[in-house]
Amino acid sequence: MVISLIGYMGSGKSHISKILSEKINFRLIDLDKEISKRNKLTIPEIFEKKGEIYFRKLERETLEEILASEENLVLSLGGGTPVYYNNMEIINHNSKSVFLRTSVGTLVERLSKQKEKRPLIANISDKDLPEFIAKHLFERNQFYSKAQFSVGTDGREPEDIVNEIIEKLYL
């Protein structure tokens, strides 16, 4: 089984996937880290040097390779991965997809502390961040809502979120 975690940046995909993979003894792959490793560049460097279109092509190729070759895997996807090409259909066809649903308020709180690591929001002022996230999340929710499972994350401990994912996938 492959479990794909999707959601907006800052929703906790990397953190939750690490705990989930350890708890169920599955291998963990973070798609962005895999792309960085294969290209010997950070995601911000790829965006800066080659552009978002180039990145999205790399992302698609890497996603397809991983989904075609892996079993017993937790795959943490980038926030934009489900939005491009027909990635969401491929994700649902080749894995169990779980949307980590997180409110705009929680996302703003988390992301305002990590802007320099996030190419899409690095140049957005703190004042404009809530509106940007709300608009972006609204646009992406049509893709995120195609996930097979949805788990709310606001105000919850990571362990509780992981337990709910396990319960939904195994019962």
Q: What is the pLDDT of residues 95-127, one digit of tens each?
A: 999 999 999 999 999 999 988 878 789 889 999
Which of 57, 66, 62, 65 lies closest to 85 in space, CA to CA? Answer: 57
pLDDT attached to residue 112: 92
Question: What is the pTM (predicted TM-score) of this model?
Answer: 0.94
pLDDT attached to residue 38: 96
- The CA-atom distances, in angstroms, between 58 and each of 54, 64, 70, 137 are 6, 10, 18, 23
pLDDT band at 28 (very low <50, low <70, confident <90, very high): very high
140 is in an annotated binding site: yes
152 is in an annotated binding site: no
Average pLDDT over the chain reads 95
**Burial environment of residue 68 by CB neighbours within 10 A (0 to 12, 13 to 18, 19 or more):** exposed
14 is in an annotated binding site: yes
| Entry field: residues in the chain | 171
- Percent of the chain past pLDDT 90, that is, above it, reads 88
101 is in an annotated binding site: no
60 is in an annotated binding site: no
Q: Is the pLDDT of residue 171 over 60?
A: no
78 is in an annotated binding site: no
118 is in an annotated binding site: yes
7 is in an annotated binding site: no
32 is in an annotated binding site: yes
56 is in an annotated binding site: yes
Tokens 């795959």 label which residue? 75
Q: What is the pLDDT of residues 35-61, one digit of tens each?
A: 999 999 998 899 889 998 999 999 999
pLDDT band at 70 (very low <50, low <70, confident <90, very high): confident
